[in-house]
Amino acid sequence: MNLTSPRRPGPNDDDTTGPIELPHVLVTVAEEGTLTATVDGTPFASPDASVWTRATFGPLMDAITKDRTIAARVEVRENDGSVFTDILRTRKPRRAVVPSETPVPETRRSRHARRVPRLAEVTVGGFVPGEDVAVATIVAHTDAIGTGEARTLIDLDDLPDGTHEVILLGRISGMLAVRRLT
């Protein structure tokens, strides 16, 4: 599919006073969540002949904009009649980093970034689904999942020496659990 049709003015064209036209992407959402897409009125099919869905919206936009190298005006029409419009801009090209010929001396920060964390997992039930759960010696926060269970990973190297227990506190339920780290 040619995204440059109809021809749009380029930076070297003599007539730069006219408006710049972006490809117009129209995405229509069906009741079951499937998507149909057109670019400037031309249907845009999936490269593998599968159906576009809400879950594949990102890959659809990447395919249309050629991995965000082409800017586009996107209009999404939901099956309930609501409409969302946005401009997808191009990404700035990334320059390759040339490795230095002279080795850089190691620092405390680079040693810390290179180390492998020692993690301990703590899982406790009884929380309200979705509630914020505080992890104390407050090193982190986590959320309870739909079953009311909260899970956290604790980097043992971040804890003060001698710390052998962790507290999980439900901010809504008041559920309090103390667990020994093993």
Q: How many other β-carbons are positioned within 10 Å of the β-carbon of residue 70?
A: 16
Any idea which residue has 């009311």 for tokens? 148
* pLDDT at site 27: 94
Per-residue pLDDT tens digits of the chain, which is 182 residues long: 455 545 555 555 555 566 778 899 999 999 898 999 999 999 998 888 889 888 888 889 888 988 888 899 999 999 999 999 998 888 776 666 666 677 767 776 776 667 777 777 888 999 888 888 988 876 677 888 888 888 888 777 777 776 677 888 898 889 999 888 76
For residue 60, which phi and psi values (nearest 5 degrees)?
-60, -50
Determine the longest span between alpha carbons in the chain, in angstroms: 74
* pLDDT at site 26: 95
**At residue 155, what is the residue type?**
D
* pLDDT at site 94: 66
Any idea which residue has 């040693």 for tokens? 111
* pLDDT at site 25: 94
Any idea which residue has 């850089």 for tokens? 104
Q: How far apart are CA 3 and CA 23, in angstroms?
A: 7
* pLDDT at site 138: 63
For residue 74, which phi and psi values (nearest 5 degrees)?
-115, 130
In the structure encoding, which two tokens stand for residue 20, read together? 């710049």
- Find the angle CA(31)-CA(33)-CA(34) to the nearest 5 degrees: 105
Give the three-state DSSP class for 98: coil
* pLDDT at site 12: 55
Q: Are 33 and 60 in contact (CB under 8 A)?
A: no
